[in-house]
Structure 1
Amino acid sequence: MKHMLAAAFAMAGLLGAAPVAAQEATTYSFDGSFEDATFAVENAIVNRGLVIDYRSHVGDMLNRTGEDVGSDKKIYDKADVFLFCSAVLSRKVMEADPMNIAHCPYGIFVTDRDGKVMIGYRNLPDGPMDEVEKLLDEIAREAAEG
């Protein structure tokens, strides 16, 4: 969750699909609705022959549980994370270092804060994970550019 907050604050005031590398995430602004952005992300993943394992509705959970945890702050209007894996890349990076399992599954997030929609992903460690990060960037960039 921390990476989404850092990414959200890093995006304040930016326009276009230029990448923003926050400490923990890279994000792209999306010129359109949250629903259009999630559709674009889903297509960008599936069109590569990848299967979405899970779509986490993080924004709904935060909005639903805020009062229960003593907060009245609304963080996102909407926020989802798409979780998926690539058998080819996962095998490659885990053969290089079995501890790369810590980064699987891979995720692309979509957020809407006050009508500003963005798409992004968590930055991964340098080395074998560079190829996975390249895939994440291609998916996020394709979805953001429409």
Structure 2
Amino acid sequence: MKTTFKATVLWAFLAAPAFANEAAITFDYDGSFEDAAFAVEDAIISKGLVIDYRSHTGEMLERTRSDVGSDVVLFDAADVFLFCSATVSRQVMEADPGNIVHCPYSIYVADQAGKVTIGFHDYPDGPMQAVEDLLTEIVEEATSF
């Protein structure tokens, strides 16, 4: 049992750098950060999903900027919404239990110098396309006003 746990931890550790290097799928939003964040939240909820956590990433980066010795303002605002879909998660994890590494799913909203962007991870080909399709539907709903 200990070997299996160690192998799982090692697999997750080795998979993380590859996932981190994958590109994001992004959509421009013609409106304010606040409107985009509200639209994303509403689109997630309208799919019957529950937002587990809303990370105020932009605020954290700004609050800690001087603490880490940086003068760079990365975002005017940036939030990340974390959530899951029982249906889609079961589908992708029944295909490969290792797909747990991708859960929960996230969509970000960011404002950089007045340009508002909504995006999410570009997931690997195969079963994870179901997650990418779900996230695309959510973002398309949020951006179609």
Q: How does the TM-score come out when normalised to structure 1?
A: 0.83
Q: Does residue 1:105 correspond to 2:104, yes or no?
A: yes
The aligned residue for residue 132 of structure 2 is: 133
The aligned residue for residue 73 of structure 2 is: 74
Task: Show the 5 A alignment for 1:11-26.
Answer: 24-26=23-25
Deviations 1:56-103 (A, max 9, x none): 000001000111111010000000000000001101111111110010
Report how far residue 121 of structure 1 moved: 0.6
Name segments (4+ residues, structure 1) moved above 6 Å: none
User: Which residue identity does 2:66 align to in structure 1?
Assistant: E
Percent of residue pairs bearing the same amino acid type: 63
Find the aligned partners of 1:68 and 1:30 in 2 and give their Cα distance.
Answer: 31
Secondary structure, in 3 states, of the residue corresponding to 1:76?
coil
Task: Show the 5 A alignment for 1:26-65.
Answer: 26-65=25-64
The aligned residue for residue 117 of structure 1 is: 116
Find the aligned partners of 2:130 and 2:91 in 1 and give their Cα distance.
Answer: 9
Find the aligned partners of 1:87 and 1:74 in 2 and give their Cα distance.
Answer: 37
Deviations 1:23-70 (A, max 9, x none): 510111111110000000001000000000000000001000111111
The number of residue pairs the alignment matches comes to 125
Find the aligned partners of 2:86 and 2:107 in 1 and give their Cα distance.
Answer: 17
Contact 1:57/1:79 (8 A) holds in 2: yes
Report how far residue 145 of structure 1 moved: 2.2
User: Which residue identity does 1:75 align to in structure 2?
Assistant: L
Q: How does the TM-score come out when normalised to structure 2?
A: 0.84
Find the aligned partners of 1:38 and 1:121 in 2 and give their Cα distance.
Answer: 14
Find the aligned partners of 1:28 and 1:140 in 2 and give their Cα distance.
Answer: 8
- Residue ranges of structure 1 left out of the alignment (5+ in a row): 1-5, 7-22
- Residue ranges of structure 2 left out of the alignment (5+ in a row): 1-20
Secondary structure, in 3 states, of the residue corresponding to 2:48?
coil
The aligned residue for residue 92 of structure 1 is: 91
Secondary structure, in 3 states, of the residue corresponding to 2:83?
strand
Contact 1:30/1:145 (8 A) holds in 2: no
| Structure with the higher helix share, 1 or 2 | 2
Secondary structure, in 3 states, of the residue corresponding to 2:100?
helix
